Amino acid sequence: MLRCQRRGDTLVRTMLIRFVSSLSGVLILLGAATVAATQASDTSQKAGPVPLKVCSKENAPPCANAPKPLFTPDPEYSDKARKKKCRGTVLLETVVGTDGVPRDIRVTQPQGCGLNEQAIQALQKWRFEPGTRDGKPVPVSLMIEMDFRLY
Q: Which residues contact 67 (CB under 8 A, 6 or more apart)?
A: 96, 100, 128, 129, 130, 131, 140, 142
Enumerate helices (H) and strands (E) in the chain, giving the number of each.
Answer: 3, 8
> pTM for this structure?
0.65
For residue 146, pLDDT over 70 is answered with yes
Residue type, 114: G
pLDDT digits (tens, 9 = 90+) for 32-49: 444 455 555 444 445 567
Which percentage of the chain shows pLDDT scores above 90?
Answer: 48
| pLDDT at residue number 97 | 95
Average pLDDT in the chain: 79
For residue 140, pLDDT over 60 is answered with yes
CATH superfamily of 52-148: TonB (3.30.2420.10)
The domain ranges of the chain are 1-47, 52-148
